[in-house]
Amino acid sequence: MASKNELRRYRANFVDEIHSAALYETLSRVETDKKIKQVYSELAASERQHAQVWADKLKANQQRVPAGASIKTALMKGLVHVFGPRFVLPSLAAAEFADRNKYSGSPDTAKMSEDEHHHASIVQSLANDGKPGATKGSEIAGAESWHRGVSSGNDLRAAVLGANDGLVSNFCLIMGVAGAGTGNKAILLTALAGIIAGACSMALGEWLSVTNARELAKTQIAKEADELEHTPEAEEHELRLIYRAKGLDGAEASRVASQIMRDKDKALDALTREELGLDPAELGGNPWSAAAVSFCLFSAGALFPAVSFLWSSGKSAIIQCIVLSVLALAAIGIFTSLFNGRSAMFSAARQIVIGLVAAAFTYGVGHLLGVSVS
């Protein structure tokens, strides 16, 4: 009989595999490219086989096999249908990468461990350029693009975090002003001012961040190009050291570095990626589109706690504000579960608790200030 920890692990592995299988099946149905559709179908079949292994282990221990799709699975499938495969691929690739070693270290799961590594490589390739047959070199070149965070183009993560900033900041602002005992018009005016000021601040901050990152990257690449032009021997030596640090022996590292240095463009690309850690094709993205998206996402989140004051006032408006904010916090928590590895219910509950604690604190501070001023 398996221990409680083992049974818990069996259930968790089964749920993970069923989630992946359902998602790959959805991707296969939505995908229009026949080759990629087949890849998704094969991935789904493999995940179903893995799930059956854990289902058999649970049955062998007289345990109930979890049934039904989780909230996370339903949400991801909905996003695939609405926005298409490319929208969810960065999060899926990051999840596969994080789970690639979960079955390692046990002879019983050696084949599944090998499969998981293969899956991570395939989905990484699809997330990078949409082609399941990407070469190893292109995988290395693009390997960082989907797990650097918001700036990497992970649209789902950026959207959730941007909306969360607007929601929490304006919710707390409204509660602080309401706690001071101000009238409905003053609260509504404060809420609208908070939306505009916060959205503009976020947009400007995003524009400056991306612009500065691009300018710094361009300066570093230009300096690298100048060094490549005037001191090619030193740059070739740096490449040799880099490849030796990656595990190549001295002769092989010298051969690879020498071959790359024959083409100055390829040499610059290699040095930019390996020495500077930059992707020449990305450089942080477009600052204007980043600013516009940041403005819209912040505004969308900040509207939820403010709208109740458009049609209501007093305690009724405050209660509606709290209810709408709690629902929005729960939705954001569910979305964050797509890339934090926790369950949807846990993520939603955590988001609600943190948001309510922050709002209660600002309400209390506003009440104390309102009393002292009056």
Could you report the per-residue pLDDT of 220-246, keeping only the tens digit for each?
A: 777 777 777 777 787 778 777 877 777
Predicted local distance difference test score (pLDDT) of residue 282? 64
- Comparing 200 with 262, the larger pLDDT belongs to 200
- Comparing 256 with 191, the larger pLDDT belongs to 191
For the segment 86-98, the average pLDDT, to the nearest whole number, is 73
Which residues are CB-contacts of 315 (< 8 A; sequence separation ≥ 6)?
none
Predicted local distance difference test score (pLDDT) of residue 150? 35
Segment 47-61, tens digit of pLDDT? 888 888 888 888 888
Compute the mean pLDDT over every residue in the chain, rounded to the nearest whole number.
Answer: 78
Contact 267, 243 (CB under 8 A): no
- Comparing 307 with 238, the larger pLDDT belongs to 307
Contact 268, 236 (CB under 8 A): no
- DSSP collapsed to 3 states, the chain: CCCHHHHHHHHHHHHHHHHHHHHHHHHHHHCCCHHHHHHHHHHHHHHHHHHHHHHHHHHHCCCCCCCCCCHHHHHHHHHHHHHCHHHHHHHHHHHHHHCCCCCCCCHHHHHHHHHHHHHHHHHHHHHHHCCCCCCHHHHHHHCCCCCCCHHHCCHHHHHHHHHHHHHHHHHHHHHHHHHCCCCHHHHHHHHHHHHHHHHHHHHHHHHHHHHHHHHHHHHHHHHHHHHHHHCHHHHHHHHHHHHHHCCCCHHHHHHHHHHHHCCHHHHHHHHHHHCCCCCCCCCCCCHHHHHHHHHHHHHHHHHHHHCHHHHCCHHHHHHHHHHHHHHHHHHHHHHHHHHHCCCHHHHHHHHHHHHHHHHHHHHHHHHHHHHHHC
Q: Which of 99-113, 150-164, 253-267 has the highest mean pLDDT?
A: 253-267
Segment 18-46, tens digit of pLDDT? 888 888 888 888 888 888 888 888 888 88
Predicted local distance difference test score (pLDDT) of residue 352? 92
Predicted local distance difference test score (pLDDT) of residue 157? 67
Judged against a pLDDT cut of 80, whether residue 296 lies above it is answered with: yes
Instruction: For residues 330 and 325, give the distance between their C-alpha atoms in angstroms, rounded to a whole number.
Output: 8
Segment 159-205, tens digit of pLDDT? 777 888 899 999 999 998 888 878 888 888 988 999 999 889 888 98
Predicted local distance difference test score (pLDDT) of residue 82? 82
- Phi/psi for 337 (5° steps) reads -65, -15
Predicted local distance difference test score (pLDDT) of residue 142? 38
Q: What is the pTM of this model?
A: 0.60
Number of residues that make up the chain: 374
Long-range (24+ apart) CB contacts under 8 A made by 29-33 are 30/80, 30/81, 30/84, 30/85, 31/85, 33/130
Contact 298, 307 (CB under 8 A): no
How would residue 277 be classed by pLDDT, with cut points 50, 70 and 90? low
Predicted local distance difference test score (pLDDT) of residue 314? 82
How would residue 338 be classed by pLDDT, with cut points 50, 70 and 90? confident
Predicted local distance difference test score (pLDDT) of residue 38? 87
How would residue 361 be classed by pLDDT, with cut points 50, 70 and 90? very high
How would residue 373 be classed by pLDDT, with cut points 50, 70 and 90? low
Which residues are CB-contacts of 293 (< 8 A; sequence separation ≥ 6)?
158, 159, 162, 206
- Give the pair of three-digit tokens for residue 334: 């569910």
Looking at the domain that runs over 4-142, which CATH code has it been given?
1.20.1260
Predicted local distance difference test score (pLDDT) of residue 178? 86
- Comparing 283 with 367, the larger pLDDT belongs to 367
For the segment 325-338, the average pLDDT, to the nearest whole number, is 86
- Phi/psi for 266 (5° steps) reads -65, -35
Predicted local distance difference test score (pLDDT) of residue 132? 45
Predicted local distance difference test score (pLDDT) of residue 356? 92
Segment 117-158, tens digit of pLDDT? 777 778 777 776 554 443 333 333 333 333 333 333 355 666
Predicted local distance difference test score (pLDDT) of residue 146? 33
Predicted local distance difference test score (pLDDT) of residue 143? 35
- Give the pair of three-digit tokens for residue 260: 């790359």
- Comparing 338 with 188, the larger pLDDT belongs to 188
- Give the pair of three-digit tokens for residue 41: 């179908």
Domain parsing of the chain, residue ranges? 4-142, 150-212+287-373, 213-274
Sort residue 277 into left (φ over 0), alpha (ψ -120 to 50) or beta: left
Contact 173, 190 (CB under 8 A): yes
